[in-house]
Amino acid sequence: MKLVRVGEAGKERPAVIDEQGVLRDLSQHIEDIAGDALLPSSLETLRRLPLHQLPEINGQPRIGACVGRIGKFICIGLNYADHAAETGAEIPKEPVVFSKWTSAVVGPNDAVKIPRGSVKTDWEVELGVVIGKGGSYISEEEALSHVAGYCVVNDVSEREYQIERGGTWDKGKGCDTFGPIGPWLVTADEIADPQQLDLWLEVDGKRYQNGNTRTMIFSVAQIISYLSRFMSLQPGDVISTGTPPGVGMGQKPPVYLRPGQTITLCIVGLGEQRQVTQESK
């Protein structure tokens, strides 16, 4: 299934895309694509619905983040060997873990706002993993059974705040609008292998990132198992799994975002995002 949340920000309703690509309303069956609605039993109930009989949503409504009420937005840094190389970092021996604040979450086509005074706002196309079945101390062998689905994430990053201002990475990663998620949550049963997904990103039509999840240092299963040793994972938690090479910081000379630019990014099978950058007021 391709699950979607549509409507104005803060008032999104759940929907699904049927076999013909028609947007159908799910609000009579679930309150939101969030929490317990992402449990395996809940998703199985949705799969059994006659989608063609659900109310059609007409027009072109705004698409919100494909997961609501996100509990934790966990990110993995330097998870592609070639991206680590372009930043001059060593290959990590364990996953590099940081957080994005949930206040950063926006829809896949909402504006990205460049923070006041920022001169190093950057882009990162990433595979997002949404937890369905929670747990702690999850084995690698069982890890993928805990996944509700997959989505596109743009891990927008301010490099000066992240690297040059001291402390942890988090303050350069969690600015408002720095977490576009979606357009769809594609349920795990539709993704044969999360380690075989092509992903790319363009700015103003120029292709900067072009990679495949097979070059991850730590696989999705390894990441889920690792994180579950340090925290319980819960339905609706989002894990962003790292980015391939081609970020602005890695260009020679570096290239960073300016107001009025268009970012387009895609993971094949998971949909496409498009954001226009704005200056924060």
Q: Check residue 117 and give its pLDDT.
A: 93
The whole-angstrom separation of Cα 44 and Cα 38 is 10
Is the pLDDT assigned to residue 84 strictly greater than 80?
no
- State the average pLDDT over residues 217-221: 98
Q: Is 46 helix (H, G, I), strand (E, B) or coil?
A: helix
Tell me what pLDDT residue 87 has. Answer: 76
Task: Please report the pLDDT score of residue 178 as a whole number.
Answer: 98
Among residues 255, 274, 280, which one has the least CA distance to residue 122?
Answer: 255
Beta strands 73-77; 238-240: pairing state: parallel
**Helices and strands (H and E) in the chain: how many:** 5, 18
Across 95-111, average pLDDT = 97
- Mean pLDDT over 72-91 rounds to 87
pLDDT at 136 over 90: yes
DSSP3 helix / strand / coil % (the chain, rounded to 5): 20, 30, 50
* Cβ contact 32:68 at 8 Å: yes
**Mind spelling out the 3-state secondary structure of 199-247?**
EEEEECCEEEEEEEHHHECCCHHHHHHHHCCCCCECCCCEEECCCCCCC
Confirm if 96 and 74 have CB atoms less than 8 A apart: no
pLDDT above 90 for 79: yes
- What pLDDT score does 82 carry? 78
Q: Which domains does the chain have, with CATH numbers?
A: 2-53 (no CATH), 73-279 (3.90.850.10)
**Mean pLDDT computed over every residue of the chain:** 96
* Nearest-angstrom CA–CA distance, 125 and 198: 11
Contact 32, 65 (CB under 8 A): no
